[in-house]
Each structure stands twice: as structure tokens, then as C-alpha cells.
A and B are shown apart, each in its own frame.
Chain A
Amino acid sequence: MNSLIALLCVLIYFVLLIAFSLFKKTSQGIENKYINLIKPLIPSWKFYDDFEETRLLFFRAKVSDEETFSEWAPLYQTPRPTFPTLFVNNQGNLILAAQSHIQTLIHDIGEHNDQTAFQDTLTYKITKNLVSYALRKKYNDHFIYQFKLSSVSDKAEIMEDILVSPLYEEEASA
């Protein structure tokens, strides 16, 4: 009898899940900042459902004013999984976190009002940090760079620019 009740409860639970999935708003609709803090405890469990197009961060850089810029190049790509990275995959997970940040960036571009400059937003600052962090590993000295967010085709060809940054200058750390 107990087993039957348990099975019935599980069944009702999943019927309710289907019903709610048909009507409920997305988690991005939550406005309350306190509720947002505990959002990780009430996940929506959406994985790889939103298949529209790939958006990537591209950069170009040069080491002096006289030089011409390099071609636009993708900023990152997750490293190929290997057996050791099944246990510890710091580089891969850092890039996955960067990709999650790009989703936030796309969302915030869509939601941004013109009262403040987008460059002043936290999301933009993190994006700029992301680019300069990656480039500091490539360039040993002073460098000038620019980045952009673009939608790309299956073959990673740039289709449309969504955001293009101004030029930035940075001293690489020794």
C-alpha cells in the first residue's frame, strides 16, 4: 500500500512538472534581488535547450601604434577533454564559466536601457577583464586590443557583430 502511495505521489509530481513547464515564466523574470540570491537552490534544470546560434568573443591586438591589427580571432575554446581532466579540469571549467558569462552579457545587452553607458555595467567590465586576462598570457609587453561579441556560423565564420568595444591599451604584468 505504501509503495502504491509513493508511486502515485511521484506520478502526480511529474504531471505537475509538465503542467508548470507549459505555463511558468522563465527564471530570468525574477526581479527580487533576495530571491535571486537563493535561485541556485531552485534550479530550472534547462540544459542545451536554447539552440539558436553560437555567439563568441573575438579579439584583435597589436603591440605598438605603428603595427596593424591582427585578424579577429576567437578568444577561447574549451580544451580537448583528456583522462586527467575528468578529475581536475580547471582550464576547461574556467572557459565554461566564461561562456556562461557570455550568456549573461547577451541577456544584459538586450535588457540595457540608455540611461547609463553599457561600458559602466558590471557585465561589460567582467567581459573586458576576461579579454585582458587572456591576452596578458599571449603578450609579454605593452599591447593595444579590441574585442567584439559576434554571432557565428557552424564553421565559426563571423555572421553579425553584436557588440564592438573601443580600443584599449594595457601593460602586461611581468
Chain B
Amino acid sequence: MPEVHDALVLVGRLIGLAVFFQSLEFIKMKESIADNGIWRWSELRTDYLFLPEKILKGLDWTMTPKRFMEMMTLRFYIGLLAFLYPHYIFIFVFLFLTTFLITLRWRGSFNGGSDYLTLIILLCLCIGFIHPLLGKAVLWYITLQVISSYFMAGLYKIKQKKWRNGAAVYGFVSSASYKTPQFIVNKCEDPTTAKILAWSVILFELTFPLVLSHPYLTVFYLGAGLLFHLGNFMTFGLNRFFWVWSASYPALYYCSKLI
């Protein structure tokens, strides 16, 4: 049976790698947060005027384009440090705080679900290394959040008629918002294929809690999960989800061994 510490270390390494890539992306898009960019702090701060003056001043100090980019550069190196030496709480505290500031900079999140799971995993790692019992608790917490992420997504989809009849699949892949590879669009144009794909996604998501029920099913669902996220990357370009969800899988593997 894997040790709590080993599982936490592996989660730490993988989330470090995810944060490393994320930070590099932010560094490369620095123009978008400049004073003449898209997300200008001089405008965004009006969302936070309700905060106490000292906190707002602290945000003003941190969120200038120059400091924010310095912070992202530091986050890039600390992410690498987390990958190499994922044993120090301060690493995860720093990564958690900077990820939280990113959510403030983008009015809730920059990349939706991937930011949320990054925050949850980092917060858990801040706590989990304190004591083995806390470590076990946070691994369970990550596991339940990840299973919920699939299960709830499946539950919301099955309620929608357009998901049940497959129309939603074609709608998303052919959407003008995404440059989905043409062969995927062509395949999904066929209503039967679209329906099969839609139900495969719904059933995969809804039955994901079975990941904990048997060692073979654990391997099957984690393997299928990786393929699912790769498919989402190929279709919609969601690369961050692949790395962040992968980082959570050691926690699921650990918890499945406890049952």
C-alpha cells in the first residue's frame, strides 16, 4: 500500500509541473495585462473597492504589470522547485497565494475549472504535509473533488436534451469559437456518431465514482481520464486541464487502495 507521504509528494511534483507550464504561459502573454492591455489593473481594481484600504493598497502594489510579471517569473521557478523538491510547505503556500491572486486578476478565474482544481490541490498540499493524518484527509478531499468534477459534469449534461440526443457534441465541435480539427467535425456531423460520443462522455462522467471500487477499474478510469483530457485538448485546446487533473490522479490511486 502506498504511503501518504509518497502520494502527497507525487501530487506535489505533478502540480508543480502544471504550475510551471501555466506560469510560462502568463509570462508569454504579458502584453495582455499591460497598462494598455486587456485586463488593466487601473480598471479592475474598481471590483475590489469594498476591501479594507490596507488590502486594496497591497493589491495595488502587487498587481502592477511589472510586479505581476515578476511574481509569475518567481512562480515559474517555484513551480520547478515543487517538481524537484516537493517536500516544503512554503513552496505550496507561495503557489497557492499566487494562484489566488491570478483568480483576482481575472475576476474569478483565468482558465475556469483548471484554476479551481489547481487552487484546491495547492491548498491541500499546504495542509497535508503537516501531519500524516491531515495528509490522508486532504488526499481524500482531492479525490472527492475530482470525482465530483466528473460526476457533476455528467449529471448536468444528462439533464440536457441536446446532450442526450448528441446535438450538443456537434454544436460544440463545429462552434465558430474553436478550431477543432476537421476530421473530428466531419465525424461528429453523423448523428449516430455524435450520439455515441455524447453518451460515452455522459456514462464515463457519471460512472467515474466507480474508480474507487476495484483496482482494475481504478486503472481503467484513470487511463480513460487521461485520454478524455487529451481528447478535450485536441478538440478545444484545453491543455491546462490535462496537467492539473493528471496531478490529482495519485490521490485517487492512493484512496482506491484504502477501500
> CB within 8 A of B29: which of A2, A90, A126?
A90
Q: B121-150 CB contact bits vs A (8 Å, 1 = yes)?
A: 001000000000000000000001001110
* A46 adjacent to chain B (CB < 8 Å): yes
**CB–CB B25/A99 < 8 A:** no
- Measured in the bound complex, the distance between the Cα atoms of B179 and A18 in whole Å is 34
Q: Does A81 contact B (CB under 8 A)?
A: yes
Main secondary structure of the interface of B (DSSP, over half): helix
Which parts of B8-29 form the interface with A (CB within 8 Å)?
Answer: 21, 24-26, 28-29
Q: Given A6-B258, A7-B212, A77-B179, is A93 in contact with B44 using a C-beta cutoff of 8 Å?
A: no
Distance in Å from the Cβ of A49 to the closest Cβ of chain B?
Answer: 4
Q: Classify the secondary structure of A's interface with B.
A: helix
- CA A10 to CA B198, docked complex, whole Å: 26
Give Cα distance in the complex from A100 to B103, angstroms: 13
**Residue pair B179, A79 in contact (C-beta under 8 Å):** yes
Binary A-proximity of B45-67 (CB < 8 A = 1, otherwise 0): 01100100000000000000000
A142 located at the interface, meaning its Cβ lies under 8 Å from any Cβ of chain B in the complex: no
- Given A85-B239, A88-B28, A92-B237, decide whether A17 and B152 contact each other with a Cβ distance below 8 A: yes
Is A33's CB under 8 angstroms from B29's CB? no
CA gap between A2 and B93 in the complex, in Å: 32
Kindly list the 9 A-B residue pairs having the minimum CB-CB distance in the complex, ordered from nearest.
A49-B156, A156-B176, A43-B116, A92-B237, A45-B152, A90-B28, A90-B25, A51-B168, A45-B149
Chain A residues near B (Cβ < 8 Å): 2-3, 6-7, 10, 13-14, 17-18, 21, 33, 36-37, 39-41, 43-49, 51, 54, 56, 74, 77-81, 85-94, 96-100, 104, 122, 125-126, 129-130, 133, 152, 154, 156, 173
Interface residues of B (CB under 8 A from A): 21, 24-26, 28-29, 31-32, 36-40, 43-44, 46-47, 50, 100, 103-104, 106-113, 115-117, 119-120, 123, 144, 147-149, 151-153, 155-157, 159-160, 162-163, 167-168, 170-172, 174-179, 181, 209, 212-213, 233-240, 242, 258-259
